[in-house]
A and B are shown apart, each in its own frame.
Chain A
Amino acid sequence: AQRVTQPEKLLSVFKGAPVELKCNYSYSGSPELFWYVQYSRQRLQLLLRHISRESIKGFTADLNKGETSFHLKKPFAQEEDSAMYYCALRTGGGADGLTFGKGTHLIIQP
């Protein structure tokens, strides 16, 4: 079965500092990887997916199949980045839904 691991439950950085949220996955096939963000008491929103290789709100994530990782990075953190971040994996056509990591609570200190 597939699994997503986010080793950091909480990450606190100062405004302007670089941010890296770690995500590792285990799956024998070729998964789709996503990052979702949840601001305080709001719905989950898609931030990035590895297929599109785009940058959203300054965040980027590169799929490293050798290390089975999909770390989320931003060079300069902003206070509005404070939120819960979930790494997620989808297999096959997606009918099984998303497998989420346990999430990382990112706090940006002023």
Chain B
Amino acid sequence: DTAVSQTPKYLVTQMGNDKSIKCEQNLGHDTMYWYKQDSKKFLKIMFSYNNKELIINETVPNRFSPKSPDKAHLNLHINSLELGDSAVYFCASSQQGGSNTEAFFGQGTRLTVV
């Protein structure tokens, strides 16, 4: 079974549109994340979220918003898409504390804004 799954795998959309990327984890982890990988393969944290706290990377535009319907899901909503938003977005999850705090990643969503 896939531990962290994202949908869709590919997303092509026009500038100005609003889109969502879904993420689900079946590991029972308490913390989920969104990362952005740009065209130069540079990975940067966007959000970190558990049921108590949302930590936002201050460089992320407020057009991006995470929404968590429950502990196993963290969706990413993007409003008014811009060309510069084109990237691969990775969802991840981990468990805070304990002996195994490894972060597990989804397969990524390749977003192309045209």
Residues of A within 8 A of B (CB): 32, 42-46, 49, 84, 86, 90, 93-100, 102-103, 105
Contacts and interface: CB of A to CB of B under 8 A. Distances in A.
Interface in B42-79: 42-45, 48, 50, 53, 55
Given A42-B107, A46-B102, A49-B102, A97 B43 contact: no
A102 B41 contact: yes
12 contacts: A43-B90, A44-B43, A44-B90, A46-B104, A94-B103, A95-B50, A95-B96, A96-B48, A97-B45, A97-B103, A100-B42, A100-B44
Given A32-B101, A90-B101, A103 B108 contact: no
Nearest to A103: B41
Interface in B70-114: 90, 92, 94, 96-97, 101-108
A103 B43 contact: yes
Interface of B: 4, 31, 33, 35, 40-45, 48, 50, 53, 55, 90, 92, 94, 96-97, 101-108
Contact of B106 (A43, A95, A102): A43
A100 B43 CA distance: 6
A102 B40 CA distance: 8
B41 A84 contact: yes
Find the residue from B42, B90, B96, B105 having the highest chain A CB count within 10 A: B105
Q: Which 10 A-B pairs have the closest CB atoms?
A: A97-B45, A100-B43, A44-B105, A97-B48, A43-B107, A43-B105, A97-B33, A93-B96, A103-B41, A46-B102
Contacts of A86: 43
Nearest to A92: B96
B41 A46 contact: no
A44 B42 CA distance: 13
A42 B31 CA distance: 22
Contacts of A44: 43, 90, 92, 105
Contacts of B90: 43-44
Contacts of B45: 96-99
